Amino acid sequence: MGSRIDAVIFDLDGVLLDSEPLVHRAMNAYLTPDYVTAEEYAEIAGTTNECMWHWIRERYRPAESIEEIGPRVLDSIYAELDASIVAPLDGAAGLLDALRAGGRSVAVASQSSPRWVAASLRAIGLADRFPVVVTSSEVRAGKPAPDVYLHAAARLGVPPARCLAIEDSVPELRAAHAAGMTVVQLRQSKFVPPPQPEAHAVIDAYRDFDLGWLDGAPPSRA
């Protein structure tokens, strides 16, 4: 690493919005009287919706089929989003301001559905800050494959080697690393894994983001 960074690509869930507690509450609303503990939910945090539906089916054996579980849980999730007062993770808007002032491009590259991404960005007031938003619905393979990140870089017109990705979960960190980007692991949300080897730098909050990385200073894992 060490080259100039021309674009910063953000994941959504766990990076711009701490959505996992909201999804956890929605899952418990669906499963009542069964209850998913925080430790159990951590097993699936950051996975795809399909993985979550299968996990629910295998763990709790609800009467509904996989095809019926998904819409029911999604209805609960959107109800939680509508009922909650949500804000972007502290420091995210400030970093976006700094990136804009420095002439860097930005994008969102998310594993989540287009509906969820659009609704979440509106809820946290950042919908107009990202000219490029890419979801896994637009590519052949979702994370941990690099497709979402490579497509976002192509949309921005920036080579992957000159992009920095901010991620939080294991499969998503692997996706950004496989895309050949500088990878920063943000550990600011509730459900986060330990520091991962795919990350060039690990930060506990946006305040720890070093703007010098954008000009080629090598990221540090310290």
pLDDT tens string 72-91:
988 888 888 887 778 999 99
**What is the side-by-side strand order in the sheet with 201-203?**
132-135, 105-110, 7-10, 163-167, 182-186, 201-203
Integer Cα distance of 214 and 45 in angstroms: 29
Marked catalytic residue, from 13, 18, 147, 168: 13
Marked catalytic residue, from 6, 11, 18, 168: 11
For 184-205, give the secondary structure using H, E and C.
EEECCCCCCCCCCCCCCEEECC
Q: Tell me the residue length of the chain.
A: 222
Integer Cα distance of 222 and 216 in angstroms: 17
Confirm whether 11 is a catalytic residue.
yes
Residue 136 CB-density burial (10 A; 0-12 exposed, 13-18 middle, 19+ buried): buried
Residue 143 has pLDDT above 90, yes or no: no
Lowest mean pLDDT among 81-90, 93-102, 162-171, 201-210: 81-90
Integer Cα distance of 79 and 84 in angstroms: 9
**Are 151 and 134 within 8 A, CB to CB?**
yes
Confirm whether 90 is a catalytic residue.
no
Lowest mean pLDDT among 14-18, 74-78, 161-165: 74-78
Provide the percentage of residues in the chain whose pLDDT is more than 70: 98
Q: Is the dihedral of CA 39, 43, 45, 48 positive or negative?
A: negative
pLDDT at 20: 83
Q: Which of 47, 26, 24, 16 is nearest to 188 (CA)?
A: 16
Residue 222 has pLDDT above 60, yes or no: no
| Four-CA torsion 93, 99, 100, 104, nearest 10 degrees | -140
